[in-house]
Structure 1
Amino acid sequence: MKEYRWATLGCGVIAKQLAENLKKQGKTLYGVGNRTYENAVKFAETYGVEKVYHNVYDMFHDDEVDIIYISTPHNTHITYLKEALKNGKHVLCEKSITLNSRELTEAVGLAENNNLVLAEAMTIYHMPLYKKLQEIVNSGQLGPLRFIQMNFGSYKDYNMENRFFSPSLAGGALLDIGVYALSFVRWFMAEAPDQILSQVKLAPSGVDEQAGILLMNNKQEMASVSLSLHAKQPKRGTVVFDKGYIEIYEYPRADKAVITYTEGNRREEIEAGNTDDALLYEIQDMEKAVAGEADDMQLEYTIDVMNIMTRLRNDWNMKYPEEL
């Protein structure tokens, strides 16, 4: 496989993990760009990055860059996605990949027209555990899917100016943590849900602080999702079938699950992958997709999840400044 040169737009926690996981493969991150140039310089010194961009837009025009990882705030993604794709760069973008379906459709069109790989950095789609569980489900040994139950809650400082609650930074539970829960649901459902009901509690800033969501598709597979930015919950997913149920804790970066079979109440522990290598699996799948060897980036799932989130926010009459 060709040696691909990666650049990161943003130098926060995810960018650090990108540099560290490339190093695990004996590679070095090629370039870094950041709104604050001084922070990009410090990042480059720490991780041995060759190129630091004074202007982040120079990254998009650098012929040496093959793949760009975007880890800036949600509401900046579409601007950077369009520039990267127009200039021939493959893109792996932090979730939520865009604010809404309209933006994502535009980005997907650019990627298709330029024969480029566009993907959301959704850990669930790349962890070996989920791939192994999907094989078990597809084998039929658990029978048909009946119900999925998802919990995801965190306790954030109740400051309406921080990014979690700020409309100007596309805050709210849905785009920050709900995208994980809905991606989990989509991974196990045979097709996208088309029946969606919800209740939402808005924060004083106007973004979604807490939500309960019910989903069902044409196969009558059902799911419930519970989200909160101000009430910690266990990161737990339960996937219920006729012949047993799967329990997964500490998703999305889970490496263990337990299957409890209906007959005899027998329990089976499934292990695959390593939590610490979560970003490494994303890197590997992305490079395979760019090389044309395999496409495990699940863009169709990303589109389905974005459609759900856009519909939910429309139901809540909740818009970000960029959407008004």
Structure 2
Amino acid sequence: MKWGIISTGTIAHNFAKTVGAMGGETEVYAVASRSQESAQAFADQYGIKKAYATYKELVEDDNVDIIYVATPHNLHYENMMLCLEHGKNILCEKSFTVTAEQAQKIYDLAKEKNLFVMEGFWTKYLPIYREVEKLIEEGVIGDIHMVTAQYGYCTAGARTLRKFDPALAGGTLLDIGVYAIGFAAMMLGYQPKSIQSLVKLNDVGTDEFSTIVMQYENGAIAQLTTAIQTTIPVLGCVYGSKGYINIPEFKNPDKIQVVLNDGTGYTIEKEVEINGYEYEIREAEQCLSEKRQYSEILTPDQSIAVMSMMDEVRSIWNMKFPFEK
């Protein structure tokens, strides 16, 4: 299958490296950047056949089967619209869009045009989470009472400015808060009864640190903390009536620890084959081979629901980006 990549940033490099390691018939056939020079340099580095100076040239290439959108959040909507208008299937990096309304429009157009679209929330495609789902379904830890997730990192220089830039839909929520919300949704569902949140906004008006609490109809609670410019160990945990599941590095784990109330426990390990991106790539290709419009692992309704949760959180903060109407 021939992939195209929109953008040549860090995440695009990770994607190209993964495809290169997968082998077989999967290949990155074309890449597009904002200049011919950067596109060609990227193509040369990964042995890509076509390099384009505009995104329009890429979407007009009939040899490209599917496009990976790796641009900043604020560009996802317009980039995906461009792809769909030119008949291209899509795998789009998280966060899928900036708002739920944008996400709904993307999936509506994809359905109208009979095209495949999937959010690249790589966490949900990892095989270790099939083990977690099995444990929960079998009632190993009983009824789930609470889910917690935390993640924070520090950055510096130009990268910091880019991460917080309101013109790029910057801030912690869309960058890594989506991991915590997505994790909670995987464990408890995509329709919380209520959401509360406290936030620290920075001097440019985007979120630097926040805690989100979501409660569900059955009384279960999710408590989520994420930050940029504060280092917080990456940890998720699912607490039940019979025990809990500890998930170190919950955004890309390779092991989980089951601890039961009687003091017994065990560890399940499932290392990724390459770096974790391979599973979302394979899922997208499998869906296309079966002529499906979306993945059953992460459905359009689920992507839209996560965006709706983030919309609600931002409304609690009274935070809007300058490009929003």
CA contact (8 A) 2:199 2:211 kept: yes
For 1:130-187, what per-residue CA distance to the aligned partner results, in whole angstroms no more than 9, with x for missing partners?
1111111112222111100111111233879711111111110100110011111111
Q: Aligned ranges for residues 243-254 of structure 1 at < 5 Å?
A: 243-254=242-253
- Matching residue of 2:269: 271
Match of 1:21 among 18, 22, 40: 18
Aligned pairs, number: 320
Cα distance between partner residues in 2 of 1:275 and 1:322: 40
Secondary structure in 2 matching 1:72: coil
Query: Is the contact between residue 202 and residue 208 of structure 1 (CA under 8 Å) also seen in structure 2?
Result: yes
Return the TM-score normalized by structure 2.
Answer: 0.94
CA contact (8 A) 1:67 1:91 kept: yes
Q: Which residue of 1 aligns with 2:80?
A: 81
1:320 paired to 2:315: no
Q: Partner letter of residue 22 of structure 1?
A: V
Q: Which residue is equivalent to 1:298?
A: 299
Structure 1, gaps ≥5 residues long = none
Pairing 1:21-100 to 2, within 5 Å after superposition: 21-26=18-23, 27-100=26-99
Distance 1:192 1:159 in 2: 37
Aligned partner letter, 1:154? Y
- 1:190 deviation in Å? 3.7
Any idea what SS the aligned residue of 2:282 has?
helix
Q: Distance in 2 between matches of 1:191 and 1:55?
A: 37
Give the conservation status (yes or no) of the 8 Å contact 1:187–1:301: no
Instruction: Please name the residue that 1:10 is paired with.
Output: 7
Matched, 1:225 2:229: no
Q: Is the 8 A contact 2:190 2:306 kept in 1?
A: no
CA-atom RMSD in angstroms = 1.7
Percent sequence identity over aligned pairs? 32
Q: Give the secondary-structure state (helix, strand or coil) at the position aligned to 1:277.
A: coil
| Structure 2 residue ranges without an equivalent (≥5) | none
